Structure 1
Amino acid sequence: MCRNIKTLFNFEPAATEEEIHASALQFVRKLSGFNKPSQANEAAFDRAVAEVSEAAHRLLNSLHTHAPARDREVEAEKVKERSRLRFG
């Protein structure tokens, strides 16, 4: 379930709102055990996703590094290559 959570810090271009939300959603899904919550739990689930997204924004905005920003396309190619080697 959490395989979709990706590193979002120190990339150029910076992480988008959609990427941060997707990571927050996967995190809350993992914690709760729900892929889609029932109506009774939907409000709490949605609130948790929003709060985790806000926390992720604060975290990403407060982190600093001297390392050069990574290129998304180069990193995606590395992932594809590792996958190809692993699964053939």
Structure 2
Amino acid sequence: MCRNIKTLFNFEPPVADSEIHEASLQFVRKLSGFHTPSKANEEAFHKAVDDIAVIARQLMDSLVTSAEPRNREVEQERARERNLKRFGPQA
């Protein structure tokens, strides 16, 4: 659905509020079809982002796992390798 929304659970250090907000923003953009809402929809758009961020934070705080936390740099490198394999070298 939203390719820009990244997995946020089980990382060291834990997910930051700014990362949750960005994922919430991407989610609302995808659902609404707006990158930037009109003035008429601006309040509802931003309220949805804030509401989803609160729920996402609650989710992140309540999830448990016995798996070792993932390393952000390692995961970013894996994503780069997948992209290189999928799309080839970027010019």
> What residue is the counterpart of 1:8 in the other structure?
8
CA RMSD of aligned residues (A): 1.1
Identity %: 59
> What residue is the counterpart of 1:83 in the other structure?
83
Q: Which structure carries more helix by proportion?
A: 1
Separation in 1, partners of 2:79, 2:49: 27
User: Displaced runs of 4+ in structure 1, greater than 4 A?
Assistant: none
* SS of the residue 2:3 aligns to: helix
TM-score (norm 2): 0.93
Q: Which runs of 5+ in 1 are unaligned?
A: none
Structure 1 residue 86: Cα displacement: 1.0
TM-score (norm 1): 0.96
Aligned length: 88
> What residue is the counterpart of 1:33 in the other structure?
33
Separation in 2, partners of 1:77, 1:38: 37
